[in-house]
Amino acid sequence: MQQILLTAAPIVALLIAWSGLNTWKRQLKGTHDFELSRRLLLTLYKCRDALKSARNSFLQPGESDKDRNDWEASAYENRWKAVSEAMSELRAATLESEASWGEDFHEEADGLHKLTVKLMLAIRHYLASQQKGPNSNLFSEKDEKALWGTDNDEYEKELNGVVGAFEKRIKPRLGRK
């Protein structure tokens, strides 16, 4: 009997250790997936908020560099830095999700990129129109709607649709609907 116990004890200990390692491995993966999902959503919301801020029609004097004569261009340039940084963060997070999960978010990211380019061109066209140069006629009604929209306008609806598509795929990984 003692011989059986001495033989079984290391086997039982090995099984318990193996079970503990598997539990630890699952916990690490779950923690990583949760943190990556959370980071994806946070960077997505940063992008959304930066785009909304860039569209704000009210420019404050503190938004531009005081030394520059083209204060309006400076203000939009400073706003655009936040958009650019947020988009870079989102790109890194989507690449990490592709590496970790094997899923890509190209379709959703492309939709956000198109909206970003649309706004960037609207800002460029507006600033060119203020210079009264050869490109001063580029600013169109379409640009105006993208740049200075109102709450729940077409641009914002598209933006909310893209954000919603991201959320639909990411939130289940956070245990939310």
Q: Residue 16 pLDDT > 80, yes or no? A: no
Quote the pLDDT of residue 159.
95
Quote the pLDDT of residue 69.
62
Q: Distance between CA atoms of 116 and 131, rounded to whole angstroms?
A: 23
HSE at residue 142, side-chain half, CA atoms within 13 A, is: 6
Could you read off the pLDDT of 23-66 as tens digits, one per residue?
A: 666 665 667 788 888 999 999 999 999 999 999 878 777 777 66
**In the chain, domain spans:** 2-174
Could you read off the pLDDT of 136-152 as tens digits, one per residue?
A: 788 888 888 898 877 77
Tell me what the mean pLDDT of segment 79-89 comes to: 95
Neighbours of 165 (CB within 10 A): 15
Q: Distance between CA atoms of 64 and 72, rounded to whole angstroms?
A: 7
Neighbours of 150 (CB within 10 A): 11
Residues 6+ apart with CB under 8 A from 61: 71
HSE at residue 139, side-chain half, CA atoms within 13 A, is: 17
**Total-model pTM:** 0.79
SS3 119: helix
Percentage of the residues of the chain whose pLDDT score is greater than 70: 82
